[in-house]
Structure 1
Amino acid sequence: MKTIELSAGTIEYEDTGGTGPTVVLLHGLLMDASLYHGVVSELSADHRCVVPTLPLGAHRHAMHPDADLSLIGVAHLVVEFLEVLDLSDVVLVGNDTGGALIQLLLGRGTSARVGRVVLVSCEAFDNFPARVTGKTLALAGKLSPLMFGLFMQQLRLRIVRRSPIAFGWLTLHGDATTAKWIEPVLRQPEIRRDAVRLLRAAAAQAELLDEAAEQLPSFDRPALVVWAANDRVMPPEHGQRLATLLLRSKLIEVDDTYTLIALDQPTQLADLIRQFATAWPAHRARGERGFCEPPRP
């Protein structure tokens, strides 16, 4: 893992290098870059994959005490990350809360370096914090950092980790990975402090994604919406609504997966990203409206 110094603190990231299309992948709450290990292993032969570990509770470098750890603050940190690495025309992918961050970027007009987006089963509209999983974390965020750490200790037990209040409805096959995600918040007091600040800020801004949705039709570049067909945390109808709001978009539903498609079906997600990354022109022709189909051979 490489590191980069941003205004909020030190961010770890993976960068495979290469000359192919640049894909930047954003993870969710209490997750890190390992969410995309399977996807990156499939894509890295012909794409440059860049995966930051954002300060969303599973990071290993504490942020500055005055860092803005609201979701808007983290979204701006993504913009800063792209700018400092001078990444442009990127395919920006977000699963779970990573998709919420993308919506905030698009809704605030800070997407100049983004050529196209992939929203993968994510929070949207009024589903924030997301159903029982997100609401449990939001309640836990009201605790002091010390008590929050004691609460999180329960997730050492697989039976708790696999319950709906934790990761049980987020992934079918990824328990070994989720067990590693909770280690920083259990071991590092500074990470617990960051996590509590983040959760409290998120709970205080529950209307953010409804507001961001109003601005999504202004995004004029290609968008792919990938959703778990039987998602229990992110309603499938939200995927349909997002695809309707994004003017140049396509919706694909995936079977045999929960919310974390990047973890449960990495090969299929990588294939979808690969097809999408070069299939449609990134920018509209003058006067063009609506969805742009891939060019015919």
Structure 2
Amino acid sequence: MTQLNQMGSPQAGAVKRIETPAGTVEYAEDGTGPPVVLLHGLLMDHTVWDDVIPLLPKGFRYIRPVLPLGSHRIPLHEDADLSMDGMVGLVADVLDALDLRDVTLVHSDWGGSLFLTALGRDERVARMVILPCEAFENFPPGLPGKMATLAVRLPGGITLAARQLRIGWLRRLPILWGWMINKPVDNERMRRWTDPVLADPRIRRDVTKYATTSFDPAELVRKTEALRGFDGDVLVLWSPDNRVMPPAHGPRLAELAPRGRYAEIPGAAVLSMLDEPEAVAREIGAFLTATASRG
């Protein structure tokens, strides 16, 4: 079992900025060593990983970019391409801008970055950890995803949805966050995640660009199945009891990857890093140290 350690640095988690062709992207950084890039989903930011980061092993550089999915604080360029392919390209551009190599990329909730291989932009990625996320034809995912897509297409809908997320009993409804997490989300964290989209029309513009992308199910499946061409180690760390990302998708993803392995986080919903941070940190930590020891 992997030894889990506190990071211990007074500068841990400091937010920095990097320039990409689409605009300025913020990111948090902890530790030094081989890079581990942890992603997030719609209407949340890098702080979704706050409970896990202190539990991960030392000797790695943990980087958490803030994607333009509604909780980012710096709007991107007005002409930035934030369609699905544009968002996938932005992830690759962040890796390029930071000049990261031999990256372990951690996917969660938002599944677009699984398409880096399909788009030929995975040259900096050596390993993957895939937590419950969109995959195959499940874009947008389940009931919450479909309701979010509907909200952004209605006048004032995204503002209304963000305000509803700030009310505890509404937040727990299945059409909002009730199926995303089993534990309560504290009000301070949810205010942080919804402040930008409520305060700045340019943030609403950015997230609307992505959320109004038209998805072709056959194309989504094809791009997901391109993972057959990814030859790095892959850990699929699924929550089998969640009701948004199909349980069958976890083993299916692990089977796609030539060097894939499947593991489960029982008792967690989609956001397993919030429901079971110790278990998530233990599994990711063991994967990181095992693959690092193989060189």
The answer to whether TM tops 0.5 is yes
Q: Does 1:16 align with 2:26?
A: no
Alpha-carbon distance between aligned partners in 1 of 2:164 and 2:285, rounded to the nearest angstrom: 39
Q: Does 1:96 align with 2:106?
A: no
3-state SS in 2 of match to 1:140: helix
- The residue number in structure 2 matching 1:246 is 257
Q: Per-residue displacement from partner, 1:176-228 (whole Å, max 9, x unpaired)? A: 13443122111222111212221111x44555431212311111111000001
- One-letter amino acid matched to 1:6: T
Q: Does 1:83 align with 2:93?
A: no
Q: Which runs of 5+ in 1 are unaligned?
A: 283-293
Q: 1:26-41, aligned counterparts within 5 Å?
A: 26-41=39-54
- Residue 229 of structure 2: which of 218, 232, 236 is its match? 218
Contact 2:135 / 2:221 at 8 angstroms: preserved in 1? yes
Q: 1:128-139, aligned counterparts within 5 Å?
A: 128-139=139-150
- One-letter amino acid matched to 2:23: G
Would you identify which runs of 4 or more consecutive aligned residues in structure 1 move more than 3 Å? 203-208
- One-letter amino acid matched to 1:172: N
Alpha-carbon distance between aligned partners in 2 of 1:44 and 1:30, rounded to the nearest angstrom: 28
Contact 1:95 / 1:262 at 8 angstroms: preserved in 2? no
3-state SS in 2 of match to 1:154: helix
The CA RMSD measured in Å over matched residues stands at: 1.9
Alpha-carbon distance between aligned partners in 2 of 1:16 and 1:135, rounded to the nearest angstrom: 34
- Residue 119 of structure 1: which of 130, 138, 161 is its match? 130
TM-score if structure 2 supplies the norm length?
0.89
Q: CA deviation at 1:141?
A: 1.7
Q: CA deviation at 1:124?
A: 0.9
Gap change, CA 1:154 and 1:4, over 3 Å in 2: same
Q: Which runs of 5+ in 2 are unaligned?
A: 1-14
Question: What is the number of equivalent residue pairs in this alignment?
Answer: 279
Alpha-carbon distance between aligned partners in 2 of 1:150 and 1:254, rounded to the nearest angstrom: 33
- Residue 172 of structure 2: which of 152, 156, 162 is its match? 162
Contact 1:174 / 1:263 at 8 angstroms: preserved in 2? no
Gap change, CA 1:253 and 1:33, over 3 Å in 2: same
TM-score if structure 1 supplies the norm length?
0.88
Alpha-carbon distance between aligned partners in 1 of 2:115 and 2:158, rounded to the nearest angstrom: 27
Q: CA deviation at 1:44?
A: 6.0
Give percent identity, aligned residues only. Answer: 41
Gap change, CA 1:277 and 1:29, over 3 Å in 2: same
